[in-house]
Structure 1
């Protein structure tokens, strides 16, 4: 399930993030790469425990708390502390790879099973050439390049990478979600049902049918969720 989340960060949030990123202490991204990714990762990343990272993490996590569509799609149980990367110049790509099944934060000691991956774009598409997030799924290879403040959710089991940036710099936040519902197929069914219920209520109001379907949604969630 690949989902485009619009306006996760407001324009003001993006301005605050960019001000922090512009003066940040960027490091070689390979320092945090796993064994498979080490040979293909060529970017820059903020240290997890740095002052800028902590301020940016609070900004992103606060925005996620307010974003109802993120909750509906990801059904988060735990969220890995958001990380921040930059692509451009000599450090401008990340080859195709699969993320580790369990992510370990060196800053907090937190461990999160990676069910859902998320990238929040922090630079506008016209600021850089290339830099698409390339995700392989059952429908083939899909390229994602979104406005600043928008995000994409996709299964962490996906093979993915970042195409070379040939002009400017691509800035983004990325993190993983351990979902209350481990199965991508089950999360998709719940998300589709939730969206259909929302549209039904908007058109018809709180009808008996909407109440009954809401019960079905929560009974499925009760059956599948692990909190």
Structure 2
């Protein structure tokens, strides 16, 4: 589980919110698959609307160029972001995201390795609505500031608790990684972050950094699936 800070600025969040307010919203069950549909109770911005598509593309560009996202997910394909809304009493029970997803309007499919939620509502705008992710260390509760994202394995059980006050708006997307093995992907992320930390500290000899960088990229070459 990795938190991405300020993938959208406050000004961008405000713009997204303004434009989404005028967009048509549909029953979220229409996009749920299998067992997930029976526990999904929310609405989703109509992805066929031009304004929604434009916002999705704008967020997609931010995601694709974010260094921490690239380091953590090593994305090969990214599903167009979807915007969801939870009003009072609405929730999404425990579920697992579909392993394979077809990109709307295309023949392309992606394997969902990583899921990503970007919060568009401030935490004090609503009660409840926490993203709960089941991990080997127990259930983790996520409720982040607007513009922040959380990246987590699509294989994990997760849910959104019922909103009891206000309204929770967020964007969700999924990524197929170039490295399918989650443990290996995590190790590569930790290695890359350590290298970046050493670079930023400016105390490590360039020759040693080059050796570490060489190891990292050779591992990427060895295990990447394209």
TM-score, reference length from structure 1: 0.96
Tell me, what secondary structure is at the counterpart of 2:83?
strand
Q: 1:205 Cα shift?
A: 5.1
1:202 aligned counterpart, secondary structure? helix
Aligned residue in 2 for 1:119: 117
Structure 2 residue aligned with 1:137:
135
For residues 35 and 57 of structure 1, what CA distance do their matches in structure 2 show? 25
| Alignment gaps of 5+ in structure 1 | none
| 1:25 Cα deviation after fit | 0.4
Deviations 1:116-153 (A, max 9, x none): 00000000000000101000011110010000110000
Separation in 1, partners of 2:174, 2:47 = 14
Residue 48 of structure 2: aligned partner: 49
| Structure 1 outlier segments of 4+, above 4 Å | none
Gaps of 5+ in 2: none
Alpha-carbon offset, residue 206 of structure 1: 5.2
Following TM superposition, by how much is the alpha carbon of 1:109 offset from its aligned partner in structure 2, in angstroms?
4.1
Equivalent residue for 1:187? 185
Task: Determine the C-alpha separation between the residues in 1 that align with 2:139 and 2:44.
Answer: 25
What is the count of residue pairs matched by the alignment?
225
Matches within 5 A, 1:22-171: 22-90=21-89, 92-171=90-169
Cα separation, 1, equivalents of 2:57 and 2:31: 21
The alpha carbon displacement at 1:24 in A equals 1.3
For residues 191 and 40 of structure 2, what CA distance do their matches in structure 1 show?
38
Cross-structure match for 1:223? 222
How far 1:46 moved relative to its partner? 1.3
Equivalent in the alignment of 2:210: 211
Whether the aligned pair in 2 keeps the contact of 1:131 and 1:162 (CA below 8 Å) is yes
Distance 1:43 1:33 in 2: 11
